[in-house]
Structure formats: structure tokens, C-alpha cells
Amino acid sequence: MPRILMCPPVYYGIEYEINPWMNRAQSSNRALAIEQWTALRQLLEDAGAEIELLSPEPGLPDLVFTANAGLVYQRQVVLSRFKHPERQGETPLDRAWFESAGFVCSDPPQDLAFEGAGDALFCGETLFAGYRRRSDARGVQQIAEQLGVQVLPLELVNPSFYHLDTCFCPLAPGEAIYYPAAFDDYGRRVIEATVPTLIKVDAHEAAAFACNAVVVGRRVITNTGCPKLQEELARHGYDPVATPLGEFLKAGGSAKCLTLRLDGEEAAGWRVSA
Ligand code: ARG
């Protein structure tokens, strides 16, 4: 059964600004955030996922974005080392949760920032890793070496698409969604040469976080406002579902960021072949 880690947005809010989407003057409505999060959780359960919960903590408003807790690989987790001090208090809570769930935890190489599944996503056997904004290129190289997997580092050139999961979403081995303008020429060529089936998202839908999709089986859950992506997904045999997540866009997050797949993403070769 697909297992997904989520954290209820009880203490969620816009309390600092660490990406271009965040503006303290545009605070979030907590009741609406809880409603949107609960609807997402329900959709994931309807898709057949079992939801595990990380306890929310006052003073850590971004703890809801469990994608950033770490990178899961089989029974191992490489925990995050957040770039911004505002989020560094999350790691001890993430570590405690993973240890109690029986995962073997490790830390990113000394002094290097790494933000977990926000920046590192398996598509088939390959780990695609975003760097520059939140994760260091050298760190993702060393993490891949430690796990014994092949990595393709991708530079994130647009500050609004600061985590890889805001502009790239593996759907299955050899299939992904991406927003080309978030990458440089080299990154685009790497993606185009290594992922045979690609669905491109336009600037308008990318800004609605179209690439920040959660994939459970053939179901693909995103924020609302991505009708072209939904059409393309349906054409490729997927079952797209949209749910409003506007309260989380205010923090620079959406569906995918609010989840962490614990048994391996749908597209991860190591899960599929397990
Ligand atoms: N406010 C959070 C941050 O800037 C949002 C994180 C979104 N998570 C993600 N995986 N893209 O760190």
C-alpha cells in the first residue's frame, strides 16, 4: 500500500520570507489551510494511500511541507540540512519520526545544504537532483554516491522554482512533467535526453504549481488552475484530479510539497522493481 507522510497545518502560516512566493503581508487563513489540507488528505486516501502523521509544532510553520523532511531510499533516509535557519528546527523532529518508524537516518555531507525530496526525485533508476537555490551540487553528488545510485544534477535558474519539485515531476520510469524555463539549456537537454516521455507545462500553469503533483498509481493530484496539464495527463492515460491549495501557494508550496512518499515514489525504479 502507498504510504505518505503528512503534517497537519495547525501551526502553518507565513512568518518569514525565504522564497519569492512568501510575503508576510499576505498571511494565510488557517481555517482555510486546514480545509484544503484535509481535502488533499482525503483525495490521497481515496487513491489508496495510507497517511502517516508528523506532529505539528508551534514556531515551525513550514513543517507541513514534509517533502523536505528527507530523501527516502528503501529503509534509509537522508535527512535534510535546511539552507535557511528558519527551517533548521524541523530536522530533529523529522529524525525522531523516521527513527521511530524504523528508518535508518543519515545526514547530508558536512556543511552542505540539502532539502530532501523537494530537490531529489527518482525517475526510474536515476536520481534527478535540483541544486543552487536550496541544495548544494556537491552534496547531491555525495549523497548519490553514498546510496549507490546514478544522479543527474540540474541547476535551478529561476528563483521562483527554487525546489526541483516545483518544476519537475516524475510520473513513471521514463515519464515526467516539467517546466522547461526553470532550467538552463544544459539541464533541459539532460532531461530531454534521459526521459523519453515528457509533458511540458507552460508559464501560467507552472505558476499555479502544476509540476508540484502527487502521483499515486495512475492518479495525479495537483492544485487547481492547471487544465492544460490535466488534458495532457488524461491523454497519457493518467487520471488527473485538482484540488484548491491556494493557502499553501502563499508559502511557495502545493500538493507534492505537502507529502512525502515513504515506500518509494511511483516513478522510482527501486520501488517498481522491488
Ligand atoms: N516555505 C517553504 C520553503 O520555502 C515551502 C517549501 C515547499 N516545499 C517543496 N518541496 N517545494 O522552504
Q: What is the pLDDT of residues 175-201, one digit of tens each?
A: 999 999 999 999 999 999 999 999 999
Q: Is 84 a catalytic residue?
A: no
Report the b/e string of 156-178 with b at 16+ CB within 10 A.
bebebbbbbbbbbbbbbbebbbb
Task: State which of 257, 260, 261 you would mutate to test the pocket of ligand 1, scoring each by most atoms of that ligand within 8 A of its C-beta.
Answer: 257
Check whether 274 has a pLDDT greater than 70.
no
Check whether 229 has a pLDDT greater than 90.
yes
Are 159 and 149 a contacting pair, CB within 8 Å? no
CA 189 / ligand 1 centre spacing (Å):
26
CA 113 / ligand 1 centre spacing (Å):
14
Task: State which of 22, 68, 169 you would mutate to test the pocket of ligand 1, scoring each by most atoms of that ligand within 8 A of its C-beta.
Answer: 68
pLDDT, position 136: 98
Interstrand relation of 175-178 and 168-172 (parallel, antiparallel or unpaired): antiparallel
pLDDT, position 76: 97
Per cent of the chain over pLDDT 90 is: 99
Q: Where are the beta strands (DSSP E) in the chain?
A: 3-6, 50-53, 70-73, 76-79, 104-106, 120-123, 126-131, 150-155, 168-172, 175-178, 197-200, 214-216, 219-222, 239-242, 260-261
Instruction: Measure the CA dihedral 49/53/56/61, to 10°.
Output: -30
Q: What is the C-alpha separation between 225 and 209, in angstroms, rounded?
A: 9
Considering the domain delimited by 3-261, tell me its CATH architecture: 5-stranded Propeller (3.75)
Per cent of the chain over pLDDT 70 is: 99
Per the residue annotation, which of 7, 211, 226, 257 is the catalytic one? 257
Q: What is the C-alpha separation between 135 and 243, in angstroms, rounded?
A: 29
Check whether 273 has a pLDDT greater than 70.
no
Q: List, in order, residues 6 or more apart from 237 with CB less than 8 Å away.
A: 218
CA 248 / ligand 1 centre spacing (Å):
9
All cell numbers assigned to 109: 555531507
Q: How many helices (H) and strands (E) does the chain have?
A: 9, 15
Q: What is the mean pLDDT of residues 92-109?
A: 98
pLDDT, position 38: 99
Q: Which atom of ligand 1 is nearest to the CA of 115?
A: 10
pLDDT, position 6: 99
Q: Rounded mean pLDDT of the chain? A: 97
Check whether 272 has a pLDDT greater than 70.
no
Q: What is the mean pLDDT of residues 67-75?
A: 98
CA 253 / ligand 1 centre spacing (Å):
5
Q: What is the pLDDT of residues 113-157, one digit of tens each?
A: 999 999 999 999 999 999 999 999 999 999 999 999 999 999 999
What is the band of 219 on the pLDDT scale with cuts at 50, 70, 90? very high
Per the residue annotation, which of 7, 123, 163, 226 is the catalytic one? 163
Check whether 162 has a pLDDT greater than 70.
yes
Instruction: Write the residue with the smallest CA distance to atom 7 of ligand 1.
Output: 253
pLDDT, position 116: 98
Pocket of ligand 1 (CB under 6 A): 18-19, 22, 62, 65, 67-68, 87, 118, 163, 165-166, 251-253, 257
All cell numbers assigned to 197: 516521455
CA 252 / ligand 1 centre spacing (Å):
6
Q: What is the C-alpha separation between 181 and 174, in angstroms, rounded?
A: 20
pLDDT, position 271: 87
Q: Is 163 a catalytic residue?
A: yes
Q: Of 74, 80, 86, whose CA–CA distance to 19 is shortest?
A: 86
Instruction: Write the residue with the smallest CA distance to atom 8 of ligand 1.
Output: 257
